[in-house]
Amino acid sequence: MLTPDNKARLIGGVPCIIRATCESTSSDEAVLAADARHSLTVATIEQTAGRGQRGNKWESAPGMNLSFTTVLRPDTVNPRDQFAISMAVSLGIVDAIDPLLTEALGIGASSRLKIKWPNDIYYNDLKLAGILIQHSISGSVIDRTLAGIGININQREFTSPAPNPVSLSMITGREYELDELLGLVLKSIMGRINMLMASTATSIDNLLDDYHRRLWRHDGNSYRWLVTADSSIITGALDHVGRDGMLHISGHTRVFAFKEIHPLLG
């Protein structure tokens, strides 16, 4: 279990502060401090105002899931390549959860673990984790990135209007020690991030390859998409995601940024 401690201690080799409760780990004073170090993480047992994508509230029962924010200092990554950070974080989570699925459900289960563009983690068509990436750019340098992450672990019932939540426990039928799992996830994320920072050009190409192998609905089939600007619905296969994070749909010349288009479930 996670034990509150307002002093940083190493979990998975990463300095972590564990709050008993907070509104949102992404607004915690420790991660916003000017001298917050690379990899510093604030996790909380209870998050009362967790934020999801597009301003949605992130539901998390106290003491049941992982809710945390990690400070990154990716100063070797050019701002034009900032989507690589999002890929590295999402792939790091997949790296950590993948073997747990294989252990519980056998070979083949991990193939159902996907990344929904740009960085939600899905199991089949169900949402297992959400990531909120916030960059602070100074000139030609990404000064700081806050990676706010929520992963559904042991919660079995969800009451929010979110259409498709699922937890790791619901998938595998097992209960998990949150401190151990937090360590695994942080170690995997920082492994991906540090590799990116050490060799940016090569790492971005590798990240793109790994990302597309895990990309949800990147299967050649045609799906319906809601275009935000005019609420129109288009149809097409997910062709690829560019190095800049833009989504390309087969049969359409327009490319889409995050929030400009949403896949329709069902």
Q: What is the CATH number of the domain that holds 26?
A: 3.30.930.10
Same domain for 241 and 135, yes or no, is no
Mean pLDDT, consecutive 10-residue stretches, the chain (266 aa), reads 92 97 96 97 91 63 95 95 97 98 94 97 97 94 96 92 91 97 98 93 93 98 97 98 97 96 91
pLDDT at 160: 78
Identify whether the C-beta of residue 160 lies closer than 8 Å to the C-beta of residue 59: yes
What is the count of structural domains for the chain?
A: 2
* Residue 240 identity (one-letter amino acid): H
Same domain for 131 and 253, yes or no, is no
Same domain for 142 and 158, yes or no, is yes
Same domain for 188 and 251, yes or no, is no
Rg (CA), the chain: 18
Same domain for 185 and 92, yes or no, is yes
Instruction: Supply 140's token pair.
Output: 């030609």
Cis? peptide before 118, omega within 30° of 0: yes
pLDDT at 60: 82
Same domain for 64 and 176, yes or no, is yes
Same domain for 47 and 64, yes or no, is yes
pLDDT at 161: 76
Structural domain of 66: 5-214
pTM of the shown model: 0.95
pLDDT at 225: 98
Same domain for 154 and 246, yes or no, is no
Same domain for 20 and 49, yes or no, is yes
